[in-house]
């Protein structure tokens, strides 16, 4: 099950389980490497719409510590969220918002 979260810094992120990850990789939503450290993605990744990045948990934590939300980028983030959720709908992948 995918978990959608809004972090305390207002970023929307998705925790993606291994099966959903494989399905989303197959449709090209993200690759098989972490977009930050370029290492092979483990099973279970984080998707960050505002960057359109798929990444490992460690890289996400590092990034999130430093990042600050920029309202100018909200529109881009919303577009990527809509795109991801359209794919989830199309692929019959459920997600829960927590």
Footprint on this chain of Zn ion (rule: CB under 5 A): 34, 36-37, 56, 59
Q: Which residues contact 51 (CB under 8 A, 6 or more apart)?
A: 35
Q: What are the Cα distances from residue 70, in Å, to 11, 24, 82?
A: 10, 27, 19
CB nearer to Zn ion: give 57 or 78.
Answer: 57
Give least dist CB 13 to Zn ion, A: 14
| 46 torsion bin: left (phi>0), alpha (psi -120 to 50), beta (else) | beta
Closer of 32 and 79 to Zn ion (Cβ): 32
Q: For the CB of residue 94, give the shortest distance to Zn ion in the complex, in Å.
A: 26
- By beta-carbon proximity to Zn ion, the closer residue of 61 and 74 is 61
Shortest distance, position 41 Cβ to Zn ion, whole Å? 8
d(CA 3, CA 49): 14
């Amino acid at each position: 099950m995918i978990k959608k979260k809004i972090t305390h810094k207002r970023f929307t992120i998705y925790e993606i389980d291994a099966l959903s990850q494989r399905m989303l990789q197959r449709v090209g939503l993200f690759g098989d490497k972490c977009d930050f450290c370029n290492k092979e993605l483990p099973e279970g990744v984080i998707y960050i719409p505002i960057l359109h990045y798929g990444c490992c948990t460690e890289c996400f934590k590092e990034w999130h510590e430093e990042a600050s939300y920029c309202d100018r980028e909200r529109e881009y983030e919303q577009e990527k969220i809509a795109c991801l959720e359209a794919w989830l709908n199309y692929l019959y992948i459920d997600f829960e918002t927590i």
